[in-house]
Amino acid sequence: MDPGRPRRHRRRHQSRPHLGSRVREGVPRGVSADGTTWTRLAAETAGNGGADDWTSLSGKGRYVRVYATARGTSYGYSLYDFAVYGTLRGTTPPTGAFTVVAAGDIAAQCTASDSGCAHPKTAALAQKINPRFYLTMGDNQYDDARIADFRAYYDKTWGAFKAKTHPVPGNHETYDPAGTLSGYQEYFGAIAYPQGKSYYSYDEGNWHFIALDSNSFDQKAQIDWLKSDLARNGKGCIAAYWHHPLYSSGGHGNDPVSKPVWKILYDAKADLVLNGHDHHYERFAPQNPDGKATADGIVEIVGGMGGAEPYPIEQVQPNSQKRISGQYGVLKLDFNDAGYTWSYVGTDGQIKDSAPNYTCH
Closest CA to 345 of 100, 166, 175, 176: 100
In the chain, which segments carry CATH 3.60.21.10? Answer: 98-359
Q: Residue 341's pLDDT is what?
A: 98
Q: What is the pLDDT of residue 9?
A: 35
Q: Tell me the pLDDT of the chain (361 aa) as tens digits.
A: 555 444 333 333 444 444 444 444 455 567 666 566 677 777 766 665 555 666 666 676 656 777 666 665 666 555 545 555 444 444 444 568 999 999 999 999 999 999 999 999 999 999 999 999 999 999 999 999 999 999 999 999 999 999 999 999 999 999 999 999 999 999 999 999 999 999 999 999 999 999 999 999 999 999 999 999 999 999 999 999 999 999 999 998 788 999 999 999 999 999 999 999 999 999 999 999 999 999 999 999 999 999 999 999 999 999 999 999 999 999 999 999 999 999 999 999 999 999 999 999 9
| Count of C-beta atoms within a 10 Å radius of residue 109 | 14
CA distances from 273 to 41, 155, 270, 302 (A): 44, 26, 8, 9
- Model-wide pTM > 0.85: no
Q: Please, which residues have CB within 8 angstroms of residue 146's CB and are 6 or more apart in sequence?
A: 176, 177, 178, 183
**Whole-number pLDDT of residue 41:** 74
98-359 to CATH, choices 3.40.50.720, 3.40.630.10, 3.60.21.10, 3.30.499.10:
3.60.21.10
Residues of the chain with CATH 2.60.120.260: 9-90
Q: What is the DSSP letter of 116?
A: T
Give the list of residues 6+ apart from residue 279 with CB closer than 8 angstroms, or none.
Answer: 105, 250, 304, 305, 308, 309, 310, 311, 325
Which value, in Å, is the radius of gyration of the alpha carbons in the chain? 28
**What kind of fold does domain 9-90 have according to CATH?**
Jelly Rolls (2.60.120)
